[in-house]
Amino acid sequence: MIVFAYPLAFLLLAMPFMMYFLLPPVKGMHGDALRVPFIKDVKRINVLSGQLWSNSQTAGDISKRIFLGAVWFFLCLAAARPQYAGEPVRSSNSGRDIMLVSDISTSMRNADFSYQGRRIDRLTAVKIAADGFINERNSDRIGLILFGTRAYMQSPVTFDKQAVSNILWASDAGMAGNSTAIGDALAMALKNLRANSKKTENKIIILLTDGENNDGSLDMFDVLKLAKEENIKIYTIGVGADEQLNAGFFSIRMPQGGLDEKNLKKLADETKGRYFRAFDTKGLQKIYDEIDRMEPDFDEDKYIQERHDLFYYPLGIAFVLALIILLLQRKTA
């Protein structure tokens, strides 16, 4: 499809006509003309001899005017800047950068969650809930860090959400160690977000854990200072049932321990995020839905359209026509 960047340039087409009809004729540009008393005799001799000298000059003038008009038209066409516009394409590269930081320590094996009538462990519940969240973030880049005793970068922020989801599903509780290095995992997430994005806003970390920071080289509050300096929002999710059913001769219920809710809440509040508590699979899914609602996609209705300039074609035609006018002028001179 052909479009024009400056369509108002076509108004210039009327300029020669306006000048011709509105401006008065110029007089006396060359001073007084030389009077030739026998010019009438020359014209009469020319007509009597059968030579159509005056008519040939008139035809030449008409040709020049046609060419001049064409030159002006193509110059105006070039000034309007014609462009070839391609098909509109939805823009999906200006959303948020979201880093998922998930605990895969051995405690995530605890089977205190249920899904579709069967008991599942905490990590499986996280995979189910996080998978839906990942697939809903159409305009965002998503990365993944898994941590236990140590933190491991599984994927930097990327638009390849299927790859992130596949990596999450392939993870297993205990493969990163028994303890919980929350500070190191958050520091790695901050470093990756800073390295992969020049924007200072729209960066989010979603931290999910069932424990407390009991390993690693960095404290959670050291990371908190860095997150506030980088203006990165942190959402924290604590997982695990308040009471856990233990198998045995007698069924007893025991309260869950080890979850540092106080510091998780402080971490979220001071970075303008929010702390959530997940007691079951449905609750965990609702938490991810709530985060999805609080952080909507950007640019859902924005489209980009590739354009290629074509102005040099009419400009070239105008140049060729101008050369033809010069050649005609020299021929009739």
Q: What is the CATH number of the domain that holds 220?
A: 3.40.50.410
Both 110 and 221 in one domain: the answer is yes
The answer to whether the beta carbons of residues 212 and 182 sit under 8 Å apart is yes
Looking at the structure, tell me whether residues 160 and 260 fall in a common domain: yes
**Selection from 226, 298, 237 nearest residue 264 by Cα:** 237
Are 6 and 83 contained in the same domain?
A: yes
Sequence-distant (≥ 6) Cβ neighbours of residue 191 within 8 angstroms = none
pLDDT at 298: 58
User: What's the pLDDT at 52?
Assistant: 42
| Identity of the amino acid at 303 | Y
Residue 28, domain member (yes or no): no
Q: Report pLDDT for 65.
A: 82
323 and 258 in a common domain: no
- Tell whether 248 and 109 lie within a shared domain: yes
Give dist(CA 22, CA 296) in Å, integer. Answer: 60
pLDDT score, position 53: 41
- Is 300 within a domain? no
**Whole-model pTM?**
0.59
The answer to whether residue 34 is domain-embedded is no
Local mean pLDDT, 10-residue blocks, the chain (333 residues): 90 87 67 53 49 50 82 93 80 74 90 86 90 85 92 91 92 88 91 73 87 82 85 89 52 57 90 89 87 72 75 92 83 63
Amino acid 198: pLDDT: 58
pLDDT of residue 41: 53
Q: Is residue 211 part of a domain?
A: yes
**How far is residue 333's CA from residue 10's CA, in Å, rounded to a whole number?**
34
What is the predicted pLDDT for the residue at 36? 52
Does residue 238 belong to any structural domain of this protein?
yes
Task: Say which amino acid occupies 140.
Answer: D
The answer on 167 and 61 residing in a single domain is no
Please state the domain count of the chain.
2
CA neighbor of 97 nearest in space, from 53, 143, 61, 62: 143
26 lies in some domain: no
Same domain, 164 and 188: yes
234/265 Cα distance (integer angstroms):
10
Cα–Cα distance, 101 to 147 (Å, whole number): 8
Contact 105, 121 (CB under 8 A): no
Domain presence at residue 36: no
Instruction: Give a yes or no: residue 316 inside a domain.
Output: yes
153 and 61 belong to one structural domain = no
Q: Say if residue 83 is in the same domain as residue 101.
A: no
User: What is the span of the domain harbouring residue 58?
Assistant: 2-21+41-87+305-332
DSSP state of 105: S
Residues 116 and 192 in one domain: yes
In this structure, are 9 and 73 located in the same domain? Answer: yes
Query: Are residues 271 and 165 located together in one domain of the fold?
Result: yes
